[in-house]
Chain A
Amino acid sequence: MNTPPPLLTLRGITKSFPGVLANDRVDLDVHRGEVHAIVGENGAGKSTLMKILYGFHRPDAGEIELDGRPIRLDTPHAARRCGIGMVFQELVQVPALTVVENIALFLPDLPVVVDGAAIATRIRETAERYGLAVPPAAPLWQLSVGEQQRVEIVKLLLADARILILDEPTRSLAPHEVDGLFRIFANLRRDGYAIVFIAHKLREVLACADRVTVLRRGVVAGSLRRDEATAAMLVSLMFGALVAEPVPRATTTARPGTAPILQLERVSVPPLGHGPGLAEIDLAIRPHEILGVAGVAGNGQRELGDVILGLEPCRRGTKFLGGEDATRWPVAKMRAHGVVFIPEDARRLAAVGGLTVLENLALGDTRRYARAGGFAIDWDAARADLDRALERLGVSIASPDRPIDALSGGNVQRVILARELARDPRLIVAFYPMRGLDVRSAMAARALLLRARDAGAGVLLISEDLDELFALSDRLIVLFRGRIVGSGVPAPPGGRPGELALDEVGYLMTGAERRARG
């Protein structure tokens, strides 16, 4: 009875987009000094709800009250006047501007002539109070993802936000950065700020939230206090009756003596544009082995994948594929020798939207299905291959004759996986293959990768998700600024010396010396 009234109240929020009911009569209470986590599957309506709170989307129905008074949040500007601020998943910042300029842009009381020094002082004061270290004069593109996120939080604090909304703030952070973020949450909570954040990892939610609200298909499936919530309860709320089965981590079948399928020796790529390039990369992938590549995005992963695939010429160093010198092979020759590629965003990079599933399949291997000297395509053969691949991989899709963009993201990814894995690859280069997939689709994709490995393929798995890397990789390397800064066998918690522990990888991928931080 003596609980204070909530700071922010949402009642009956409903929002539909063409064909989707994203939020269906959602109620939400946010209190002062509360860290409130929102969880749910992909497409459960979490982001939509947050964007309504920030005035990006207008709800079709429902009321929002702040301190008991009804408010309208029609634009981000209106939300900010009400003290609501948001840190987006794709940070809306201006990389070319400095930290001071990025923050100044946001200040409601910015004078006509900008006094950079005064703003820098305010930044330092706030940053010190809440443990948000940021370099005010540096251009934003030089900052790490964690620092950029802190800039966003400082920005909101200086703009007098009382309610901070964060959309998947931990997604690209290393474990120790996540801990730092949660300490910042704790500091802010102490001063009465309310924090609402979207999360995917239940471990993190349980580590820092005071309250957890679960969304399922646009509806609030439940809202629990921290002391009432367990991981199992949250999972069952998120997925309904279906219980997520964990993929058993099959142990490697690679034999140490086998010749590597791919070997890079002292491969370097000069930095170009915004990328760091690669410096003196030595690595080997054997059959029956998944080599995980850990690192914050933009530390040479793209270059590494491109060099292996032959998209980027290998100017310095040598590349061997199955013992043959493949340094100067073009992409087509690499593909012909059993190298396949699973892109980060299948919809964008590997699938042609207007074409059907079958046409997309044939596109991946036009030479194989070409008849009459390339003037005809053997559709029956393509269809037979697709059926065989889908059956072998245990994937079912409704109809191969549907346009591929009618499929969900998870299914497109499965079709692309099926297409690529159907070629009996010797080497699979997978870029963030599980990114953006919900838990169930990600599990299916993982199972496919493991099955391909067990069939004898070597896999290069590039990912930002350390949990995923530790679950799948037989060996791990860590990339930082285009260099391999660590490698080893991933250790289970409490692992043996000589193995790579999770938090150590976290420090390595942010370029920090673990010892230096104690």
Chain B
Amino acid sequence: MAPLIRSLLSGSIVSGTPLLYATLAELLSERAGVVNLGLEGVMLVGAVVGFIATVHTGSATAGLVAAGLAGGLFNLVFAFVVVSRRANQLAAGLTLMFCGVGLSALMGARYVGSQIVGLPELRVPLLADLPILGPALFVHDALVYAAVPVAAGAWWVLFRTRWGLSVRAVGENPVAAFAAGKDPRMVHYQVLFLAGVLGGVAGAHLSLAVARTWAEWMTAGRGFIAVALVIFSRWHPLRALAGALLFGGAISLQLQMQALGVPLSPFLLDMLPYVLSLAVLAVWGGRARHAVPASLGRVFQGTQ
């Protein structure tokens, strides 16, 4: 029983980590009023660029940096289309997603099957020797340890800084933000770049730390789970932490049950995160007063 609990817990954390970075990316965008359904594509571009950079430099750190930059730049394409060209966000997002799928497959074609060392596992001294909990919680890569501080940092930036206030104001009422002397378009570009970086990092965690290889469409829908997780977390970074862990747990549970040969359809288990999201929407739907950014999906049109 103990090994099962250990691997389930450890698996939840590892599966939850890319979900968390992706969720924070989407959460920031949506707080600024932009729905980005292209996150899946951004993650894939981050994953493949991070992998290629690691193969060529031999350094997973360099790969991680490259992944973040690639994600940020790729998301700027989306920013240009929806902010400057005022295209429909849902259509542009889906298109971005498919572009990301294609682009990453093209770039990664020569690297399928390549092996890398990847992000090293760091043992936390002493704590890692605790029974069960030790190996489950304290033998992970750096991105796992960074997850909680990054979520807390996202909260702090959103709720305690001038920039975060602008972001929330733009997502709620861009005209008010404009009247307050902010430039909503500039805020959108900044947020979307940052979200792209986080999305790229989320993808890189999959290719550099979890799989340590590259496979086409290796994100397998995690970008969309992240979109659902934003709703689950009701646009709050700390609730996103809980959500990512829970949904990571669902993924991990599904893998464990498959490994143990439990006679339950894996398709059914795949649905679990989405069933959870629907349940949350059904329960909180009417009551989530002022939780949803009021200007979500709309971009500042200017005042003539």
Contacts and interface: CB of A to CB of B under 8 A. Distances in A.
Given A92-B175, A105-B169, A111 B286 contact: no
Contacts of A105: 165-166, 169, 176-177, 180, 182
Contact of A113 (B161, B166, B172): B161
Interface string B221-234: 00000000000000
B179 interface: yes
A92 B178 CA distance: 9
A112 B179 CA distance: 19
Interface in A103-145: 104-106, 108, 110-114, 139, 141
A97 B160 contact: no
B56 interface: no
Interface in B12-45: none
A293 B304 CA distance: 37
B290 A114 contact: no
Interface string A73-100: 0001100100000101000111111000
Contact of A80 (B163, B168, B178, B181): B181
Contact of B172 (A95, A106, A112, A272): A95
A92 B290 contact: no
A444 B287 CA distance: 43
Contacts of A77: 181
B162 A113 contact: yes
B85 interface: no
Contacts, number: 70
Interface string A269-296: 0001110000000000000000000000
B238 interface: no
Contacts of B173: 92-95
B289 interface: yes
A474 interface: no
Nearest to A90: B175
A273 B289 contact: yes
A96 B290 contact: yes
B176 A114 contact: no
Contacts of A106: 180-181
Interface residues of A, number: 28
B286 A272 contact: yes
B158 to A, nearest CB: 11
B294 interface: yes
B304 A57 contact: yes
Nearest to B172: A94
A106 B177 CA distance: 8
B302 to A, nearest CB: 11
Contacts of B162: 104, 110-114
B176 A92 contact: yes
Chain A facing B: main interface SS = loop
A444 B168 CA distance: 45
Contacts of B181: 76-77, 80, 106, 108
B303 interface: yes
Given A76-B179, A139-B290, A273-B286, A112 B169 contact: no
B161 to A, nearest CB: 5
A94 B161 contact: no
A112 B176 contact: no
A56 interface: yes
Nearest to B290: A96
A123 to B, nearest CB: 15
Interface string B180-198: 1110000000000000000
A303 interface: no
Nearest to B303: A56
A95 B294 contact: yes
Contacts of B169: 94, 97, 101, 105
Given A77-B181, A94-B173, A106-B180, A141 B290 contact: yes
A97 B161 contact: no
Contacts of B175: 92
Contacts of A110: 162, 165
Nearest to A113: B161
Contacts of B179: 76, 86, 88, 92
A94 B286 contact: no
A139 B294 CA distance: 14
A94 B289 contact: no
Nearest to A272: B286
Contacts of B163: 112
Interface string A194-235: 000000000000000000000000000000000000000000
A156 B95 CA distance: 44
B235 to A, nearest CB: 10
Given A94-B172, A94-B173, A141-B290, A114 B178 contact: no
B290 A95 contact: yes
B169 to A, nearest CB: 5
A104 B178 CA distance: 14
A104 B181 CA distance: 12
Most buried by A among B165, B175, B177: B165
Contacts of B303: 56
A97 B165 CA distance: 9
A114 B177 contact: no
Interface string B145-181: 0000000000000001111011011001101111111
B168 A94 contact: yes
A139 B162 CA distance: 18
30 contacts: A57-B304, A76-B178, A80-B181, A92-B179, A93-B173, A94-B172, A94-B176, A95-B173, A95-B290, A96-B290, A96-B293, A101-B165, A101-B169, A104-B162, A104-B165, A105-B176, A105-B177, A105-B180, A106-B180, A110-B162, A112-B161, A112-B163, A113-B160, A113-B161, A114-B160, A114-B162, A114-B165, A141-B289, A141-B290, A274-B289
Top 6 A-B residue pairs of the complex, sorted by shortest distance between their CB atoms: A92-B176, A96-B290, A77-B181, A94-B172, A92-B179, A105-B180
Interface of A: 56-57, 76-77, 80, 86, 88, 92-97, 101, 104-106, 108, 110-114, 139, 141, 272-274
Given A97-B172, A108-B181, A272-B286, 4 more contacts: A95-B173, A104-B165, A106-B180, A141-B290
